[in-house]
Structure 1
Amino acid sequence: MLRRFVCLVFVAAACAGSPAAQPAAPPLSIVESAPDDPSVERPASAVTSTSTPTPVTAPPTRSAATGDGDRDAGRDGNRTDPSVVTTAAGTAPGSTTAPDPNAITPEGFERVTARVTKPDGETCDLCLWLADDGEQRSRGLMFVTDLGSADGMAFRYPDPHTGTFWMKNTVLPLSIAFFDPAGSFMEAFDMEPCERDPCFRYATPSGFSVAVETAQGDLAAIGLVAGSSLALLDLPCAA
């Protein structure tokens, strides 16, 4: 998968040195649920900025696609992963693999610039697909096999949001990071595609405003780690 990555301080590779985010249960379509619903569990390996979650038994990690409680229209877990090997700045050095002509990339979303401030104060710019309304957040990365010319997808909510994610009909294993209304990192975890019903639902942190999904394991490479912050600039990505 090809992704454009621009670093404001040290060039594109700058974000790659960030500490790795710890895997945690993956985000999925967001479905509202009661706080005492016993079927909803917090990801066992979630990384948070304040405390360590109590371990819980959960299925394999899964990708997360956020929604307004309507992301129940899961994702397709029967397709294959993209064949292009990439880094945070694009195709891996020395790679000669051509883009997969059958790859499915996000459609109907605009790409916007997002500015990441790392814990040490260094800043980097990302290019993210933007899911900015209920329909887009419900669809998210369903059926997508390649992120194309972006580093991931941002799910933005008009008000602080709390819910659950699931991975039905999601093809790519994903990692997801959550940010509060001020843009501060809250929590992150990994998710795997759901191959059969019932799909596990993962509780989000309370009151997040933006969630970012990327290829599983790539959060640290793009600087989305504990102590970081994120700002969606609503500017088109640089060509």
Structure 2
Amino acid sequence: MSLRPAVTFILGLLVGGGLFFIFGNPFASRGSDLVDEYYQLKPLSVVQMDGDVVDFEVVIADSFEERKRGLQYVAHLGSNQGMWFVFQDETVKTFWMKDTLIPLDILFVDSKFKVVSIAQNLPPCFQVDPEQKNCEYTSSVEKVKYALEITGGMADAEGISIGDTIQLQEQQD
């Protein structure tokens, strides 16, 4: 019985594993932490109907390019981090998960800063297919002026619900 095939196999695994360790997963390397992508996080609070407050740190997406990019390629959000989208007009808004690496909840918020609908645990959609036609879309139920993207499952875990209100630090200034 020859040991050569077994040794070759083990060496192959070691070399392959070493290369993977050195160069990493090519898809994962495109991902980053929210703080790596955006350097200015601002405080935002969700004030629940019972008076409890859930605090977040958010990136403000108030330009077309920032809204278009959203949380694409962000591989990790802190438990209370997110992105606050500011739109020019109050209309029904549609989001899609193109190049999103993590599940998200989206809180849709009207011009009075009231949460009017919540899309929960939207699945990530990062694929090699450039058409990305199979990524999930979701729309607000009502007209909104704002949206808050947070880690998938966070709305449920924190008890955030329709009727809660948003307080952004800039509102208080």
Listed one character per residue, the Cα deviations across residues 103-132 of structure 1 (whole Å, up to 9, x for unaligned) are 612324521111221111233432112112
Determine the structure 1 residue equivalent to 2:153.
217
- Equivalence map 1:90-101=2 (5 Å): none
**One-letter identity of the residue aligned with 2:84:** A
- Equivalence map 1:111-126=2 (5 Å): 111-126=41-56
Please state whether the residue corresponding to 1:113 is helix, strand or coil.
Answer: strand
Please state whether the residue corresponding to 1:225 is helix, strand or coil.
Answer: coil
TM-score of the pair, normalised by structure 2: 0.68
When you count helix as a share of all residues, which structure comes out higher? Answer: 2
Determine the structure 1 residue equivalent to 2:28.
79
The question of whether the paired residues in 1 share the 8 Å contact of 2:41 and 2:58 is answered with yes
**One-letter identity of the residue aligned with 1:193:** P
Please state whether the residue corresponding to 1:234 is helix, strand or coil.
Answer: helix
The question of whether the paired residues in 1 share the 8 Å contact of 2:79 and 2:151 is answered with no
Which of 119, 137, 141 pairs up with 1:189? 119
The alignment status of 1:151 with 2:81, answered yes or no, reads yes
The question of whether the paired residues in 1 share the 8 Å contact of 2:31 and 2:101 is answered with no
In the alignment, the residues of structure 1 paired with residue 39 and residue 147 of structure 2 have an alpha-carbon distance, to the nearest angstrom, of 16
In the alignment, the residues of structure 2 paired with residue 224 and residue 133 of structure 1 have an alpha-carbon distance, to the nearest angstrom, of 27
The alignment status of 1:135 with 2:60, answered yes or no, reads no
Closer, same or farther: CA 129–150 of 1 in aligned 2, 3 Å: farther
In the alignment, the residues of structure 1 paired with residue 79 and residue 151 of structure 2 have an alpha-carbon distance, to the nearest angstrom, of 13
Listed one character per residue, the Cα deviations across residues 188-223 of structure 1 (whole Å, up to 9, x for unaligned) are 112112245313322223321111111110113445
Please tell me the root mean square deviation across aligned C-alpha atoms, in Å.
2.5
Closer, same or farther: CA 162–109 of 1 in aligned 2, 3 Å: farther
In the alignment, the residues of structure 2 paired with residue 140 and residue 205 of structure 1 have an alpha-carbon distance, to the nearest angstrom, of 20
Q: Count how many residue pairs are aligned between Structure 1 and Structure 2.
A: 137
The alignment status of 1:104 with 2:35, answered yes or no, reads no
When you count strand as a share of all residues, which structure comes out higher? Answer: 2
Determine the structure 1 residue equivalent to 2:109.
179
TM-score of the pair, normalised by structure 1: 0.51
In the alignment, the residues of structure 2 paired with residue 109 and residue 126 of structure 1 have an alpha-carbon distance, to the nearest angstrom, of 15
The alignment status of 1:165 with 2:165, answered yes or no, reads no
Determine the structure 2 residue equivalent to 1:99.
none
Runs of 5+ in structure 1 lacking a partner?
1-77, 81-101
